[in-house]
Amino acid sequence: MRKLIFIIINYNDYPKTKRLLDNIKDYKVIDHIYIVDNHSNDNSYDKLNKIKLDKLTVIRTEENKGFAYALNIGAKEVIKKYGKADIIFSNSDIIINSNENLEILKKTLDKKDVGLVGPVIYEQGHLNRGWHLPSPKDEILANLPLIGRKFITRNHYKEDYYKNETSEVEVLSFCFFLIKTKVIEEINFFDENTFLYYEENITSSKLKNTKYRMLVNNNITIIHDHSASIDKSINYINKFKILKKSQVYFEEHYNKASKLELFLLKLTIRLTLITLYVRIFIRGGLKK
């Protein structure tokens, strides 16, 4: 029986990480808990390192190279100590109802041809249950200033797709997911060329070259409290730039975007960025 290891990624969010740790520390299905502190620049690591719990290990990265980098740090520690195991990767701002929910998710992952498993995620008043990989055209349309949001739902599955216990999806949210270590090794770990965002789409693209399926368990729901610690550290414009840099990287290296599609993608990004600057200027002017 493969062990189940729970890895929490923390960045400047000790309160939420401690809340999640208190939430899961007595769950019997979990064999060990790792907290990967992604080089927080507050006192998170010092506080976390003082927690006394037998099945807890706290790791601090040497520098913050992004979310995928932190995932790999945790995965490599687990593989080094346990070899073949199942890993739950989780943001710090997650709430889980019961040990039994994790047991059910682990059983879903135990199927031979399943590589990744996720629950239904309740966040910001909506249910996140995965999505289709977008085409370059989808990404360009979604980038259009003012009207782009209308095209985002093109990549969502229809509601009746989730009527069974599990549904196969192309992409799962990485705020909380389960994965086998052998799958991580087979896809050569997570791509560290993005700092934040698009880790899901990139990993899904890599998984397409394997025999493994990706499932969402429709009977299990967890809460994503969405504190998003990155929001505490960067402003909205910088966050947008990070997002779009990751988007371009995904399209260029994984989604087979043509030169024309890449040009249009970058053009729509510039147009949206101009729109954001105008909005901020107008709002600033209105406040005056």
CATH number of the domain that 115 lies in? 3.90.550.60
Per the listing, tokens 């992952």 go with 109
Domains in the chain: how many in total? 1
Give the pLDDT score at 236.
Answer: 79
Give the pLDDT score at 286.
Answer: 45
> Is there a contact between 169 and 214 (Cβ–Cβ < 8 Å)?
yes
In a domain, 247, yes or no: no
In a domain, 52, yes or no: yes
In a domain, 261, yes or no: no
In a domain, 252, yes or no: no
In a domain, 280, yes or no: no
Report the 10 Å Cβ neighbour count for 89: 26
Give the pLDDT score at 232.
Answer: 53
Give the pLDDT score at 227.
Answer: 62
In a domain, 200, yes or no: yes
In a domain, 258, yes or no: no
In a domain, 75, yes or no: yes
Below-50 pLDDT ranges, the chain: 285-288
Residue among 76, 33, 34 nearest 185 (CA)? 76
